[in-house]
Each structure stands twice: as structure tokens, then as C-alpha cells.
Amino acid sequence: MSRAGADVPVATALGGGRITLQVDEKLFVKDPTSSALGLNIIEHGILLLDEIGYEDFTFRKLAERIETTEASVYRYFRSKHLLLLYLTSYYWGWMEYRIDLATRNIESAEARLRLALRELTQPITNDESTPRIDEAALYRVLISESSKTYLQRGVDAENREGLFRSYKRLCRSVADVIVEINPAYEYPVALVSTVVESSHRQKYFAEHLPSLTEVKLPTAHRSTTAFLTELVFQAIAR
């Protein structure tokens, strides 16, 4: 399957730094990595989303913060929804790249699955090569807002355009490892998508609705990894 890293998103440059991922061109009007203004939109888009949440976030507020105009922001993204989709797509692409990096050259499928689950359930760490991206903030945005990319009427049309490709590819590639371990297991992709969603949700619950989970701050990441790793290995045990 994707062991050799074929088909994995290519690393190029974001934030004046050295690494970025290919994000589908349909997600933006003009590539935000191609100009200082675009990078500003990404950088402060993440920070503002983290601060005030998707519902209260507007291009007007973002424009004020980076001292540009609403119209200029619209030159890069058709809507705040597509900005969010861009960010999540970037995130999943990066996640797949990280998993690939962590698991290549590892023989045992079990070990690879364990590493992949670790990457999926631990927060992404600050990356020196992308100085403009606050990874911790992006991760919080993902936890709170990523479901909103697909829980809306436009899903089907957007899916037809391939805008969810990075998420689907990520789930598929982890599911492939499960199939390697137990080809008889009937729900590999469902299991992965459940784990990915649950990882975010449990951390959200830990912070906002703590009686819905045993995952507790400040060790939420660690116990989420433990909970979900155990869940997966028990589920696929022959």
C-alpha cells in the first residue's frame, strides 16, 4: 500500500519557510502561499478562528486585524467556509506526510499502526519550518471546527469536486495498515474515521463537557491516545 510513500502529498514551501503541502487548487481563488498578504490571511485566519470561533469569524474582522480590506481577502478565498476547508485540507495532508515519515522503513504492520495512531491522536507540534503557522492554534481549530466542513448542505457538490480528498486519502492509508494486520476485519475505514473523529471529540469534551469522557485535562492527549489505541487493537484482534 502506501508504504513507499507513493502518492503522499509533496512537501514544498509555506510561510517563507521550507515546508508546505499541496492543497487542492479548487480550495482557493488565488494561492495564499504566493504572496505576503496570502500568508497573512492564513496566519491570522488560524489565530482569529482559534480566538473567536467559526461562527463569529468574518472576513471583515480578519481584514481589520491584518490591516487590509474585506475585498482583498475575498481575492484569496471565496468564503470563510472555503478558508476552513483549506486549513483542514492542509492539516490532513500534513498529517499524512507525518505518518508516512514516522512509519516508513518499519517492518511490522502492528508497529506502523501504533505509530500512525500516535500521530493521529497526539497534537501536532510546532514546526520550525513553518514559522507563520501556529500549529497549536491550528490543532484547536481543527478540534472545534473541522466537522463543520462537511456537516452542511454543500457536502455533496464539494465532494464531487474532490475537496475532501485529503481526509479520505488519510483514512484509507491508515485503514490499509489495518487490512494488512487483519484482512478479515470488516470495517477498517469506518474504524479509522471513527478514531480520527473521536480523537478530536474526546478532547473537546474534556474541555467543555467533561462528564462525557474519562479523558481529563491536562493529560487529555496521552489518555486519548491510550483509549483509542486500545480500542483499535482490540477491535481488529483476530
Site residues, DNA (CB under 7 A): 30, 35-38, 56-61, 67-72, 74-75, 78-81
Determine phi and psi for 214, rounding to 5 degrees. Answer: -85, -10
Site for its own copies in 32-91 (CB under 8 A): 52-53, 55-56
Q: Is 56 exposed, middle or buried (0-12, 13-18, 19+ CB in 10 A)?
A: exposed
Q: Please, how many CA atoms are within 13 Å of residue 8, restricted to the half-sphere of its CB?
A: 20
209 near its own copies, rule: CB under 8 A: yes
Least separation in angstroms between residue 142's CB and DNA is: 20
Least separation in angstroms between residue 113's CB and its own copies is: 16
230 near its own copies, rule: CB under 8 A: yes
Least separation in angstroms between residue 191's CB and its own copies is: 7
Cβ proximity of 158 and 167 under 8 Å: no
| Residues 123-152 as x/- pattern, contact with its own copies by CB under 8 A | ---------------------xx-xx-xxx
* Biggest alpha carbon–alpha carbon distance for the chain: 58
Among candidates 43, 32, 16, 8, which has minimal Cα distance to 129?
16
Least separation in angstroms between residue 145's CB and its own copies is: 7
Cβ proximity of 93 and 142 under 8 Å: no
Nearer CB in complex with DNA: 51/180: 51
- Measured on CA atoms in the order 64, 65, 71, 72, is the torsion positive or negative? positive
Q: How many C-beta atoms surround the C-beta of residue 46 within 10 A?
A: 24
Among candidates 108, 93, 91, 90, which has minimal Cα distance to 3?
108
Least separation in angstroms between residue 91's CB and DNA is: 21
Q: Which stretch binds its own copies (CB under 8 A): 30-38, 99-107, 128-136, 205-213?
A: 205-213
- Residues found near its own copies in the complex (CB under 8 A): 52-53, 55-56, 144-145, 147-148, 150-153, 155-156, 159, 164, 167-168, 171-172, 186-191, 193-194, 197-198, 201-202, 204-205, 208-209, 211-215, 227, 230-231, 234-235, 237
